Amino acid sequence: MMLLNEIAEQLHVHLIGNGEIAVSGITYADVATESQIAISMSRSEAMRTAAKVVLTNKILLGIDKTLLFCDGAILKAAKEIGELFVSHDEYPDYALQESYTWQDTGWLAGENVIIGASSHVGAFSYIGKNVQIGSNCIIYPNVYIGAGSIIGSNVIIKPGARIASPAFFMYDNHPANDFVGFGKVRIGNNVTIGSNTVVQRGSFADTIIGADTGIGDGVVIGHDVHIGRKCRIVSQAGIAGRSVLEDGVEVMGQAGIVENVNIGEGSIIKAKSLVSKNVPDNEVISGLYGRKHIEEMRLQAVLRKKF
């Protein structure tokens, strides 16, 4: 735990409120607990969050919270605060170069790797420190699983997949990909992940894949994404950071979902669609502009008549 006074003294943030509050970490407002600092992009987020302390770069009037106010990019300030928790040994430092030990079956393991009964790791795979893998899993050759990942039972990860890869994350005018992140990747039971698929490590929260979900080849799942149970994501789809797919969602090949989008339960995203806004439950979406499928088909019919 750290006191807010300590954080304000060490960083270029302004403290407005009780500096004697002790905080346990920093994360996004919608998932923050009472003891964490909430990263808030808006007044409505600050009002809804359970956290007592809000990091913001906006003037928030009438908010009954203690504020940490930064003058510049909010995620840059959040990264600097997270690094304080790393320096206090309260967050793991995933940016450190790991030491691996060669295993008799031809793969490399970091420290404190736990692998359940009847699970198999293929040759030339890298399993980072403190990774937990459940029972009856098959990790094919040439798979990378980054430190701290938690993988359930009966999981299949096919060749070339990268789990807990650093996010392609731009938080300021800095080069992308220089921020490893503080979160984990959590994969539920009975999940299949295809060849060359990338699941990025969480930045300020965890990237989560729910049980009984199938993910095809060459899919990219961004940082802090939450995928529900029994979802199906077809090859070459892309899901940007902090998006949420509720249970039973299907995303077809080469579809793209932008950041901070919520896809409702049971919805279907057709191939090559671009989804840039929230989708209600049991909706079918298609087309470049992510319209309802029936509306997109009507539009295409009109265009064919004209041209």
Q: Are 38 and 28 in contact (CB under 8 A)?
A: yes
Q: Which of 14, 88, 223, 226 is catalytic?
A: 223
Q: What is the CA radius of gyration of the chain?
A: 21
Q: Hey, what are 283's tokens?
A: 């909706």
From residue 255, how far is each of 230, 235, 252, 273, 275 by CA, in Å?
Answer: 18, 9, 6, 5, 8
Mark out the alpha helices in the chain (DSSP H runs).
4-10, 43-48, 74-87, 293-306
| Side-chain-side CA neighbours of residue 81 (13 Å) | 36
Tokens 């450190």, located at residue: 96
Distance from first CA to last CA of the chain, Å, rounded? 65
Q: Is 223 marked active-site?
A: yes
- CA distance linking residue 254 with residue 235, whole number of Å: 7
Burial of 72 (0-12, 13-18, 19+ CB in 10 A): exposed
- Amino acid in the structure at residue 195: S
CB atoms closer than 10 angstroms to residue 288: 10
Which among 162, 171, 152 is positioned nearest to 194, based on CA atoms?
162
Tokens 């954080």, located at residue: 7
Q: Are 119 and 140 in contact (CB under 8 A)?
A: no
Q: Are 153 and 116 in contact (CB under 8 A)?
A: yes
Q: Is 290 helix (H, G, I), strand (E, B) or coil?
A: coil
Residue 73 backbone class (left: φ over 0; alpha: ψ -120 to 50; beta: rest): beta
Active centre residues (catalytic)? 223
